[in-house]
Amino acid sequence: MPTGTPESTTPGPATPDPTSEPATRAPATTQAPEPTPAAGHTPSSGLPTIAESDLPPEAWDTMQLIYDGGPFPYRQDDSTFFNREGILPDQRRGYYREYTVETPGSHDRGARRIVAGEDGDLYWTDDHYDSFRQIMEMQ
């Protein structure tokens, strides 16, 4: 079917749209990350929240890398986050992992991070662990 032609309203078998599967994946900064099957189930922490759609595009990039299992751009990424600040819910050692969210214009890793829990809980900080908001994933 030519591009721009409206689809028929007559019921019948669906024909796959050849334009629906791009040859290459679009950059994550143009769309929200694709959640894993377990995503959408976000354990409640009692912390303030932020909608996934309200995060900066660089956070979407980081979330997509988390869902894909890497590769991560910084050697510190995917390392254990110890929750020394005590802000996140208490969990056993090794439950949380931390990931850098790039900060435009920063000459180092910047202050923005996503911390991921083993149960799918995700937390956003833009002030290097002084505060956290739980990321509410799209469902």
* Catalytic residue set: 98, 128
* Nearest-angstrom CA–CA distance, 79 and 50: 23
Consecutive H or E run containing 116? strand 113-117
Answer yes or no: are the C-beta atoms of 51 and 97 closer than 8 Å.
no
DSSP states of 29-79: GGS-----TTTT-----SS-EEEGGGS-HHHHHHHHHHHHT---SSTTTTE
